[in-house]
Amino acid sequence: MARNSEVDAVLKPEDVVAEIYSDFPNEAKDLGPLLQMVDSGQAVDIIALPNKGPVLLLKKLFSALDLRISLGAHLLPKGAEPTMKRLASVFNKLDSTVSAMPEISRTDVDNSATLDAEPSPIQV
């Protein structure tokens, strides 16, 4: 019987964090504070988040970090290494990569053309 290598692969939290940064850069900025909440002993419920893409990746991440689930919320098990300590090197690497990327300022977005914008009058 053939085995599915994707199922057999060990999920690394570092890889999931990199995927979150890659696929959802706007939401990635909230990952550190979320993990700090977990590290401080708070239970984190992600099911109500509006964007389901990051929710699926967060579930993968929490599973890879061996977080406990209680009443639908994720918790750091007693005696477990804090998540931010485990992921410090990947956050440092990704944060330096992201900060080196050019940002689009709010004025660039406000001044950009959109398909639903009314045409501006032409002055002669």
Average pLDDT over residues 51-57: 92
- Any idea where the domains of the chain sit in the sequence? 9-97
pLDDT of amino acid 10: 74
Average pLDDT over residues 36-53: 92
pLDDT of amino acid 92: 85
Average pLDDT over residues 42-55: 91
Q: How confident is the model at residue 97 (pLDDT cuts 50, 70, 90)?
A: low
Contact of 20 with 27, CB cutoff 8 Å: yes
Whether pLDDT at 122 is above 90: no
pLDDT tens digits along 70-96: 999 999 999 999 999 999 989 888 777
Average pLDDT over residues 30-49: 93
